[in-house]
Structure 1
Amino acid sequence: MLMTLFTGWRARFINRSTRAAATGIMLLLLAGCSALGNANNMAAEPEPDLSELVHAAAEQMVAGNPELTRYSPMIAATFVSIDNLSQSSTLGRISSEIMASALSRQGMQVREVKMRDSMFIEESVGELILSRQVQRLSAQHNARSILMGTYAQGQDYIYVSARVVRSSDAMVLGSADFRLPLNNNTRSLLEGQGSW
């Protein structure tokens, strides 16, 4: 009789222990899956987009000088490679286009020079403006300011510096910098290099 009671109690204890152990293991597995899910969510965050970075830089530029829009109209030059100021790329051309658009949204009047015959445009480079041409081009287009920019390729990032300069004396009215992750997309934008 005593032996039967002991055996029954032992069976219930083992069942409870097994259930408790199984529950503990399940909780650990669920916690592990949850942690992995959070890690995957963090790793899956999208990289910053060129357009988003440029628009944020334009806002920063205007915030740094709220009077910037007084220097309208503005013309935009293609952003050039810091290592060779007579060389640009698809990245330089699109960065300039997006920045001009972003500044226009901030209230800057932007004059479209591609519609006029007075400015030489080389298809593979875009509207490069060298310092000796600033006075002549701003007079031709009745521009009070010019958007200029440079970019440099690093190991992991592309660094872009943009500024709006007063056409009369080349004083910097506003500037902004940002970095873009160097990935397959940005590498393809850099491949379209051209020299002027």
Structure 2
Amino acid sequence: MLNTLFSKRRAPSITRIALMSIALLLLAGCSTLGNANNPPAEPEPDLSELVHAAAEQMIASNPELTRYSPMIAATFVSIDNLSQSSTLGRISSEIMASALSRQGMEVREVKMRDSMFIEESVGELILSRQVQRLSAQHNARSILMGTYAQGQDYVYVSARVVRAGDAMVLGSADFRLPLNNNTRSLLEGQGGW
């Protein structure tokens, strides 16, 4: 009798455990199905992808741009201080020059010549009063210039190719770069973020 009483008490708890296990399995299956319908978010494009897309846009908006070769590239500068740049400004200029070269623009490398002063922490800065002199020194028909501005969540970059003779804008493109840890480290060279 004691055995029968003990087994009756045990039966409801085993049933409850089995039902709870089944319910948990069903819930886990539902959450797995929910994830299958929501694929993981694609990563945001990086600087190189954005710059290459901007170069393609620049050439697409003015297919005649390549007629203004050779081009020299200036370091992109902070919109708040045109004599200040950062690693972001220097690498943006380098990648854009490379991307434009792939689009058919002839790019003259100025770092190989002694006639252009390159400040170690700034790069090749070109202010409007220097455009005529530097383009003549390098026999360039156009100059790649750019600026960037740091916001709270993004860095906004504006790039343009200008005609060396009269500083007329021949092509331009803009993009924004997410302000993540990678971007912040590229900006640190300008004295903070």
- TM-score norm. by structure 1 comes to 0.83
CA distance in 2, matches of 1:58, 1:76: 13
- 1:29 corresponds to 2:34: no
CA distance in 1, matches of 2:149, 2:37: 35
Where do residues 1-196 of structure 1 align in structure 2 (5 Å cutoff)? 22=22, 26-36=25-35, 38-39=37-38, 41-43=39-41, 45-193=42-190
Task: Determine helix, strand or coil for the equivalent of 2:146.
Answer: strand
Report the CA distance between 1:26 and its aligned residue: 4.6
Task: Determine helix, strand or coil for the equivalent of 2:33.
Answer: helix
CA distance in 2, matches of 1:110, 1:182: 29
Residue segments in structure 2 that go unaligned for 5+ positions in a row: 1-17
CA distance in 1, matches of 2:87, 2:36: 38
Number of positions where the alignment pairs a residue of Structure 1 with one of Structure 2: 174
Q: Where has structure 1 moved over 3 Å in runs of 4 or more?
A: 24-29, 36-39
Q: Decide whether aligned partners of structure 1 residues 133 and 28 sit closer, same or farther in structure 2, where only a CA change above 3 A counts.
A: same
Report the CA distance between 1:28 and its aligned residue: 4.7
Partner deviation per Cα, 1:136-160 (whole Å, 9 max, x = no partner) = 0000100000000000000000000
Report the CA distance between 1:46 and its aligned residue: 1.5
Which deviates more from structure 2 when the two are superposed, residues 30-39 or residues 184-193? 30-39
Task: Determine helix, strand or coil for the equivalent of 2:99.
Answer: helix
CA distance in 1, matches of 2:25, 2:56: 51
Task: Determine helix, strand or coil for the equivalent of 1:88.
Answer: coil
- TM-score norm. by structure 2 comes to 0.84
Q: Which amino acid aligns with 2:99?
A: A
Q: Which amino acid aligns with 1:65?
A: N
Report the CA distance between 1:42 and its aligned residue: 2.4
Which deviates more from structure 2 when the two are superposed, residues 83-92 or residues 185-194? 185-194
Partner deviation per Cα, 1:25-55 (whole Å, 9 max, x = no partner) = 755532322213554x424x22211000000
**Alpha-carbon RMSD:** 2.0
CA distance in 1, matches of 2:130, 2:189: 25
